[in-house]
Structure 1
Amino acid sequence: MTNYFTPKFSVAALGAAAALTLSACGSDSEETADSTTAWDEIQEEGILTVATSGTLYPTSFRAEGTDELTGFEVEVVREAAERLELEVEFTELGFDEMLTSVQTGQVDIAANDIEINEGRQENFQFSTPFKYSYGTAIVRADDLSGIETLEDLEGKKAAGASTSVYMETARSYGAEEVTYDNATNETYLRDVAIGRTDVILNDYYLQTLAIEAFPELEIVIHPTIKYSPSEVGMVMNQDNDELVENVNRVIEEMLEDGTIADISAEFFAGADVTEPIDIEE
């Protein structure tokens, strides 16, 4: 997931996550029963509970001048839920809290530009991917923050979420991480511009639109740094097989009929993020 902010864990949530890990060691028949029960309960209540941030433009945000939650993944979720004949109930959380809430069963899905990777696949199930991108770096416009390649991240101050794949990349190259609570994009971007931090590593599409939203800031996307091709999908509990199957069914329908491409064009300035990307790393 490519979110910018870092929330806080609660002791209770961590304890619940540990309990879930222990309870997941039951028999296959027990897991199947739990999966079926979870999907049956969702259908019976008629509500799909979804965690998202509400602060990550253009994936999940509030439209200017309104209190309406919208964004690329928000609208993908709404369309998927409609095809499943369910209402959607959104809960706005920080990144780490989203994953904990999925793991503990407090929500059914997390949708917030969350990248599919091996580490997360050990603990969660992902939907069929519906967004493809790659990593870039936001730096100061006048000197590119003194960064020519990823190797130059050593000693630089990198802003982002501590548990994101992008911060993992920054740390692997020796950057000093700077994390925030549930801050807006403007806070992150302005701190790079004024030199409080040096770089933000994140998703290409998100970075491009974030910069376009604040043209007064003297920052740019680094012209040559491209890395880590990525796939994004919705995150679900490991045991919710039936939910995953049904979500995948409608996501694949939406990819086939062009619905997600249309939603992408609306939020990514005409770009189709459903197309896989090849880059030279």
Structure 2
Amino acid sequence: MKMKSFRKWAKRPALLIASALTAGLLAGCGANNDESGESSGSWADIEERGVLQVATSGTLFPASFHDDEEGLTGFEVELTREAADRLGLEVEFTEMGFDGMLTSINSGQVDLAVNDIDINEDREERFLFTEPYKFSYGAMIVRPDDYSGIETLEDLEGKKHGGAATTIYMQIAESYGAEGVTYENVTNDTYLRDIENGRLDVVMNDYYLQSLAIEALPEIDVIIHPDLFYHPNNQAMIMKEDNHELQERLNSVIQEMLEDGTVTTLSEQFFGGQDVSEEPDMEFEEPDVEYDDE
């Protein structure tokens, strides 16, 4: 199995634990084009309405989740709010599973999506991304007594892997012969308990998201596999392929936030003191799989 450094493979794909069916869609901007050829969600339209319409799941701790006191919050939720504020805009979030996000961008129902969404070659052919603000890699949640019988990626054959049908991690698992068990837009405790009780053998996902999910639910007897790390990746905001001015303006304020320490502060707040805006200096196992992003 090939081993690759993070920097060389930093633009490979990844996704999230929770994702699946659309929970609801904004009835806002339509998908009609104006005379300039831009969609009705172009920067001129956004600036005129004064509101940035954003899709997110609301179930993916700590990127996008609900707090009893704060309501919808999370690393990317607050990062988006700060970016919008610096652009003189308000934000309206619409919560949905990942499967609905890209469709909603293309239909003009939202301007962009934030939900630990990975930059990859297939998406870059069909959408625009901002510059990345989070760098990570893949990990596995397994049972602690025998690591669910998994020592290498090849040992995924015959195991039960949980996730949404269209995630990159599901594609990796199934490419190695795992049986995919699909879930709707559920919270992390559902996955972790199903690993503990044997309904699942493994959930493959972002290292930081998985480590925090386990830390938040210590009563569930699962762990992160200590020896298998793979699939370096980075995340950013994703938007319609013709919305170049929105991309440029967001890139400008994201760069400001990286330089003035705002992104680091938000990262440390939501990721237990860790700075996810820094690229980790490690080597990873690179899965032998061709990714198919619907």
**Aligned 8 A contact 1:47 1:87 in 2:** yes
DSSP 3-state at the match of 1:34: coil
Alignment correspondent of 1:126: 129
- 1:2-22 CA distance string (max 9 Å, x none): 222342369xx9xxxxxx7xx
Aligned partners of 1:7 and 1:263: how far apart in 2? 27
Whether 1:258 and 2:286 are equivalent positions in the alignment is no
Query: SS at 1:3's partner residue?
Result: coil
> Are 1:2 and 2:5 matched, yes or no?
no
1:101 matched to 2:104: yes
- Of the three residues 231, 241, 245, the one matched with 2:244 is 241
3-state DSSP class of the match of 1:96? helix
Aligned residues, how many? Answer: 265
The Cα offsets for residues 25-68 of structure 1, whole Å up to 9 and x where unpaired, read as: xxxx96x54169711110000000000000000000011x3361
Aligned-residue CA RMSD (Å): 2.0
Partner SS, residue 260 of structure 1:
helix
TM-score, length basis structure 1: 0.90
Asked whether the 8 Å contact 1:227–1:279 carries over to 2, the reply is: no
1:17 matched residue in structure 2: none
- What's the secondary structure of 2:77's corresponding residue? helix
1:269 equivalent in structure 2: 272
| Deviation, structure 1 residue 123 | 1.4
- Distance in 2, matches of 1:68 and 1:133, equals 26
How far apart, in 1, do the equivalents of 2:224 and 2:107 lie? 37
Q: Give the number of the structure whose residues are more often helix, by fraction.
A: 1
What are the equivalent positions in structure 2 for 1:51-90 lying under 5 Å apart? Answer: 51-63=55-67, 65-66=68-69, 68-90=71-93
Unaligned 5+ runs, structure 2: 1-13, 26-30, 286-294
Alpha-carbon separation, structure 2, partners of 1:87 and 1:37: 15
Q: For residue 171 of structure 2, what is the amino acid of its counterpart?
A: E
1:207 aligned residue: 210
**Paired AA for residue 213 in structure 2:** A
Check the 8 A contact 1:229/1:277 in 2, yes or no. Answer: no
> Structure 1: how far apart are the matches of 2:219 and 2:19?
25
Distance 1:37 1:139 in 2: 42
Q: TM-score, normalised by structure 2?
A: 0.86
Percent identity over the alignment? 58
Aligned AA (1:93): M
Q: Give, as a single letter, the amino acid of the residue that structure 2 aligns with 1:222.
A: H
Separation in structure 1 between the aligned mates of residue 260 and residue 232 of structure 2, nearest angstrom: 25
Tell me the SS of whatever aligns to 2:38: helix
Q: Secondary structure at the match of 2:93?
A: strand
Q: Deviations over 1:216-263 (max 9, x none)?
A: 111100011010110100010001111111111111111111110100
Shift of 1:181: 1.1
Letter in 2 for 1:68: G
CA distance in 2, matches of 1:107, 1:37: 8
**C-alpha deviation, 1:164, in angstroms:** 1.2
CA distance in 1, matches of 2:114, 2:94: 10
Q: Is the 8 A contact 1:36 1:240 kept in 2?
A: no
The corresponding residue for 2:197 is: 194
Q: Distance in 2 between matches of 1:149 and 1:114?
A: 26
The answer as to whether partners of 1:103 and 1:237 remain within 8 angstroms in 2 is: yes
Alpha-carbon shift at residue 120 of structure 1 (Å) = 1.2
> Within 1, Cα distance between the matches of 2:138 and 2:275?
17
- Deviations for 1:171-198, whole angstroms, at most 9, x for unmatched residues? 1111110111111110011000110000
